[in-house]
Amino acid sequence: MKVTITPIGNSKGIRIPKVVLEQCHIKKEANMEVKGESIIIRPCKEEPRKDWEQAFRKMHENKDDQLLINDGIDLDMEKWEWK
């Protein structure tokens, strides 16, 4: 597919047809790399919870992983109010 290079400020760009974006599963962001004289554009793969392990380890080291509220269960039903 032949495309036209369009000036955009100090850069240049191309228009990618919606059908091509859908076919490649590209939504809002893409990864772009240069190999030789070729430009490769790939969809960003979402990585849920990426780096969570490192973040939790750091929280533990900083003692930021303490409970904020008491999560114990009150099993003494005499104090419960039933409606």
- Give the domain ranges of the chain: 1-66
Q: Which residues pair with 31 in a beta bridge?
A: 42
Q: Which residues pair with 41 in a beta bridge?
A: 32
Taking residues 24-36, report their average pLDDT.
93
Whether residue 11 is predicted with pLDDT greater than 70 in this model: the reply is yes
Strands 38-43 and 6-8: unpaired
Whether 12 and 31 have beta carbons less than 8 Å apart is answered as: no
- At residue 5, the pLDDT reads 96
Is this prediction's pTM over 0.75?
A: no
Which of 13-17, 58-62, 79-83 shows the lowest mean pLDDT across its residues?
79-83
CATH number of the structural domain 1-66: 2.10.260.10
CA angle 73, 75, 81 (to 5 degrees): 100
Taking residues 17-46, report their average pLDDT.
93
Between 79 and 18, the higher pLDDT residue: 18
